[in-house]
């Protein structure tokens, strides 16, 4: 099967890092097509970043559908454009935040999210409420680390900072598992799991395995109800390529 792994920001190093993590867990017959937006912000950590990332992301969804990929993964912890992408796609579309939160709930009664900047905490809290999982999350914790500081090889100092925040989550929140709140933390998952002794869930790998499960079961995005295809109408200007057709 072919899974399109979409980094909705425009940073090559992050796309490469998440592709490595995805391929490490993918089954033998799974091909990971790692792509990124060709237009938009270098990282997504505010509402305006998210809004301006959507055209590039949705263009990738459209292209992946045309290629007939079996599933799409939106690899940014804000799950930008997830509902829009599901309207546009027949294949399953998985956001890494929803994937990680769902998977955490299968192995622990509760979890805390350890994310990047303080300003992204409200986004994660909104997603928890939207997904009906707020009651399972003890706390969303910021590390104060910007997305673009999590370079190809996250530095030792930043690794220490993230580990310390995870330890506080276990000690102070009573969380039974940790959800990593950024695709750029994918390379830290196995080391943190070994250090902390609790399940640490990275959304990129969680989404890939959930995508394989859905495709294996023959599941597609429902076209009844909220994810019905968008209505056919003209679009003008820079968005003309998104005009839905029959």
Judged by the rule CB under 6 A, the positions of this chain that interact with ligand 2AL are 9, 43-45, 76-78, 115-116, 120, 147, 181-183
> How near is the Cβ of 71 to ligand 2AL at its closest, in Å?
19
- For the bound state, the minimum distance from the C-beta of residue 170 to ligand 2AL, rounded and expressed in Å, comes to 20
How far CA 82 is from CA of 2, 37, 95, in Å, comes to 19, 15, 6
The residue (of 11 and 30) whose beta carbon lies closer to ligand 2AL is 11
Coil/strand/helix, residue 99: helix
Among residues 9 and 215, whose Cβ is nearest to ligand 2AL?
Answer: 9
Q: What are the respective helix, strand and coil percentages of the chain, to the nearest 5?
A: 50, 15, 35
Angle between helices 12-25 and 203-216 (to 10 degrees): 50
* Shortest CB 54 distance to ligand 2AL, Å: 13
Instruction: Provide the minimum distance between the beta carbon of 101 and ligand 2AL in the complex, in angstroms, as a whole number.
Output: 13
Task: Considering the complex, state which of residue 55 and residue 78 has its C-beta at the smaller distance from ligand 2AL.
Answer: 78
Backbone angles phi, psi at 232, to 5 degrees: -75, 125
**Looking at beta carbons only, is 49 or 87 nearer to ligand 2AL?**
49
CB of 80 to ligand 2AL, least distance (A): 9
- The residues, ordered by sequence, that sit 6+ positions from 239 with a Cβ below 8 Å of its Cβ are 55
Give 177 or 215: the residue with its C-beta nearer to ligand 2AL. Answer: 177
Q: Can you say whether residue 79 is alpha, beta or left, with left for phi > 0 and alpha for psi between -120 and 50 degrees?
A: left
């Amino acid at each position: 099967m072919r899974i399109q792994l979409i980094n909705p920001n425009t940073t090559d190093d992050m796309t490469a890092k998440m592709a490595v993590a995805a391929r490490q867990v993918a089954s033998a017959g799974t091909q990971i097509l790692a792509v990124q937006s060709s237009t938009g912000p270098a990282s997504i950590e505010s509402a305006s970043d998210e809004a301006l990332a959507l055209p590039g992301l949705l263009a990738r969804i459209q292209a992946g559908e045309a290629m007939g990929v079996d599933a799409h993964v939106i690899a940014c912890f804000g799950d930008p454009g997830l509902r829009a992408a599901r309207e546009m796609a027949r294949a399953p579309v998985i956001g890494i935040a929803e994937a990680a939160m769902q998977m955490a709930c299968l192995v622990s009664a509760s979890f805390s999210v350890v994310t990047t900047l303080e300003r992204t905490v409200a986004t994660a809290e909104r997603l928890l409420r939207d997904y009906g999982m707020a009651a399972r999350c003890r706390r969303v914790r910021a590390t104060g680390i910007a997305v673009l500081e999590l370079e190809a090889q996250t530095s030792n100092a930043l690794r220490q900072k993230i580990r310390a925040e995870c330890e506080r989550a276990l000690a102070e929140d009573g969380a039974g598992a940790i959800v990593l709140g950024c695709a750029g933390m994918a390379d830290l998952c196995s080391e943190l799991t070994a250090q902390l002794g609790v399940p640490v869930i990275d959304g990129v790998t969680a989404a890939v395995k959930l995508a394989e499960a859905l495709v294996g079961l023959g599941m597609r995005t429902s076209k009844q109800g909220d994810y019905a295809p968008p209505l056919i109408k003209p679009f003008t200007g820079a968005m003309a390529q998104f005009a839905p057709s029959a």
